[in-house]
Structure 1
């Protein structure tokens, strides 16, 4: 499965914590000896062990010591021993609230998020077909996701779980993406505004004493926004507790800048309990230049205030090889602990050379 098919269209309150005794022996948010450079990587089920070893060796030689790997339990169990030989740690990259490809979730239409115009993601996906969003307010959805996290966290040698799509559908697309869908999103339109399912309506009324369907303008209601921020935050904070039960780390890929992430997809990630975070600082999605990587990283680091480290996510298709060294500098100047690149297929010899010659250390 391709990460964020949108890419093709542009050119490419804290939960209780059970601490382990080894990996997680330090204070919250200050895990020692984390890698500096990372890569998001899709499953490669067709690859032989030799192909994996040669690629992992290439990553290590380029100062990449952390792999955010998709593909599920079988793929992880195959790759982890090989990665250990190469000196690379592996974290399981999983889709969270977007359950595309999840046959069990698909059997439960009531699990899926509902737009303000009353359409469910089970039958009507916003923007693209694979946008099959479930609702974080539903107990059954949270339990289903927790079960997947527990399965992954028990894999021998796995260092952590990496959450992706841990949010609502984009209520407003990044500015550079809107023309690709013939959209002008100058406000929050009903078909992209989630979630208004019966569970959300009931829980919001219980917490705030309001009927969201009777609000004159739900998009202007601060309590309704906060309710949805909190729904995702509660899920993440619970999963943090779960992964730490198994002495594993928890991280997440998120939208850039906490305020922007709140606006675009209801992510208040500076409120989350995590061990590290990976904002996708894809400057071309926002019609920005490379210095935006620095300013965005700086805003994230300031908001976190030392809670846990931030790694700048870099989108290789939008960064010329000749500019890659500058992108790494921007991440460092912004206060990022390191970078994560997306993805392997976009790396050129010049990109590899830049990584070998410079680290954000």
Structure 2
């Protein structure tokens, strides 16, 4: 007598189906597996369709429990319509997040290569379980291993569009060693629901990158909204609304102080800042290099601590005149709104490298509680068009706690 054993269908399906990924031609389709980790399925899709292919991460809930690091993308279109949740195994991420060189930072998700798109269609959601990170950090500084949500690394000709972030672990996005990057229609929010702050949850940071367009963003974060760091050039930021942030910033840069850093040709325009620390500002360490040809245009704000601010000695507020990092040819035009206290601008330039070519046009800043705004200036060109009301002391702080 012969016995036949009929196996359940799921036992004889290809492994790629069980893992939540199927490949048809050059299209890899990822679906939620219902497991504790969907990152293997997504990484399999990157491996099989990341060159001259398409990747479709469909609607549904995905759990990401491992680092995703892909630097070989080429001629690839990535579509995400699901919710990606990075799990809260903090010790795993502290041990395994991928280093990105800058200031000992690291990342949970890194993409590199050339000629690729990452589109969220207004449906993709990146959820970082950030509250766990904010609570364990307890308002301390930048914890090594605390991962950036998304990093572009050695990427060229990339378009990112239509993604929402909620509760990221650390910075939302970082672009490094990259060129020709366009990032549009992004929605970011890092908000703590406990006594502990989010601490350094920047919206965007660039470093060693050029030819970047940022357009149509809404960002709520605990630190810089858009930050242009060292060796970045030709960057256009337009139509961004920032809440509870540092808004538009050049820097920080110039650290380590013996390595020259440069930022050239940056335009911020049509920006709104609400209840932020600053609006349009430049921060450097007392280092070497230059900041040149920067424009802040059409910047509107409400209840901003110190709207216009320039410092050559950020954070330590010492050795300010030792800086050789020259700031020149910077324009602030159509800058209007209310300051939290009575200082509209605090500008201190290094005596060792005084600011030149600063220009101010149509500046209208009023203290929200009435009175006359102070404009404090030191070691800058006298033909700037800014009606300075007094000198700015060396080491002038970024955050004010009351009227000057």
Alignment TM-score, normalising by the size of structure 2: 0.28
Structure with the bigger percentage of helix: 1
Q: Higher relative CO (CA 8 A, sep ≥ 6), structure 1 or 2?
A: 1
- Structure number with higher strand proportion: 2
Bigger Rg, which one = 2
Task: Tell me the TM-score normalised to structure 1 length.
Answer: 0.31
